[in-house]
Structure 1
Amino acid sequence: MAVLPDPARRWDIQTKVRFAARLEDFFGVGRVDLGLLPEMDPFVAVEAIDGERVYAQDPDLADEYELYLLRRAGDLIPFERRRINVLLGREEP
Structure 2
Amino acid sequence: MEIQHQFDGKRGAFFIEEDAKRFAEMVYVMAGESKLIIEHTEVDPSLQGQGIGEKLLEELVEYVRKKNIRVIPLCPFAKATFRKREDLREVLS
TM-score scaled to structure 2, two decimals? 0.29
Task: Say which structure, 1 or 2, has more relative contact order (CA 8 Å, 6+ apart).
Answer: 1
- Which structure is higher in strand share? 2
Whose Rg is larger?
Answer: 1
TM-score (norm 1): 0.29
